[in-house]
Structure 1
Amino acid sequence: MSENESSYPVVDAMKAGGGWNSLWDGLHEMDPEWTELYMKMAMQPYQSGVLSPKVIQLLCIAVDASATHMYAPGTRRHIQAALDIGVTPEEILEVLKLATVVGIHSCNIGVPILVEEMAAHKERQAAA
């Protein structure tokens, strides 16, 4: 390998193309081989041709904007990429609407607990 060649071509390409998350820097420093292999695997959907670029960008928007991820820089990057390839703002908005459905699980978990705790609180007050 020459002095200018890197043994981490996927990571280097992601950094050059703006797809690298600076939060991954520490991981890459600690275990660059593993990081390269992981990123190679993660890039497979982009390179396989099975999903269209439009579908890939919409899925990335949904993941990055979801309540369990909430990664604004990725959401912005994928919205920009989607618009650049012709995805309409209306299509992106529909994906964002769908991504919000993940948040309903907070109510599915929290509301029954709230009902139980309210009943227990009333019982404690009545006993006091």
Structure 2
Amino acid sequence: MTLHDPTAPAPATGPPPTPVVDAMRAKGAWNPLWDGLQERDPAWTEQFMAMAMQPWTSGVLEPKVIELLCIAVDASATHMYGPGVQRHIRSALDLGATAEEILTVLQLTTLVGVHACNIGVPLLVEELAAREKPADHAN
């Protein structure tokens, strides 16, 4: 049995503060697809977004480079988030990126899709070869 400590602070009531999420919403960096997650677990979402915002807040990379990386992530075949690509292209241009830099990022991003062929084509060849071999029937 646990005794209640009357000097312990009362548990927090109401939703926790979410300054990172609030800032993302205010500057238009919030993806509305995250709304359900934020509604279900605002504390976890706040922590996740604070971690995800480290590239911007750490100062290690210049903002233009971060925007170019975000274009690559949002345009990749595994993500394909058009609104994010558009937002990050606008931001990159605002930060001085050239059309050539953005186009190069998009061209490099297409290389992610070629991996499907690197994996899939040899497997297709293997399966087709296996089907061409006569079945070994034991009598």
Deviations 1:29-58 (A, max 9, x none): 110000001111111110111100111001
TM-score, length basis structure 1 = 0.89
Report the equivalent of 1:80.
90
What number of residue pairs does the alignment pair up?
121
Task: Confirm whether residue 30 of structure 1 aligns to residue 13 of structure 2.
Answer: no
- Among residues 89, 101, 110, which one is paired with 2:120 in the alignment? 110
Q: Say which SS state the counterpart of residue 77 (structure 2) adopts.
A: coil
For structure 2, the 5+ residue unaligned runs are 1-15
Report the equivalent of 1:60.
70
- Identity across matched positions, percent: 68
Q: After the TM superposition, which residues 87-98 of structure 1 pair with which residues of structure 2 at under 5 Å, given as runs? A: 87-98=97-108
Task: Confirm whether residue 51 of structure 1 aligns to residue 61 of structure 2.
Answer: yes
The alignment yields a C-alpha RMSD, in angstroms, of: 1.6
Larger radius of gyration: 2
For structure 1, the 5+ residue unaligned runs are 1-5
Report the equivalent of 1:3.
none
Task: Confirm whether residue 21 of structure 1 aligns to residue 50 of structure 2.
Answer: no
Amino acid at match of 1:23: L
Q: Distance in 1 between matches of 2:117 and 2:55?
A: 33
Q: Distance in 1 between matches of 2:93 and 2:134?
A: 57
TM-score, length basis structure 2 = 0.82
Q: After the TM superposition, which residues 113-124 of structure 1 pair with which residues of structure 2 at under 5 Å, given as runs? A: 113-123=123-133
Report the equivalent of 2:18.
8
Deviations 1:57-96 (A, max 9, x none): 0110111111111111111110010011110011000000
Q: Distance in 1 between matches of 2:122 and 2:96?
A: 44
Q: Say which SS state the counterpart of residue 23 (structure 1) adopts.
A: helix
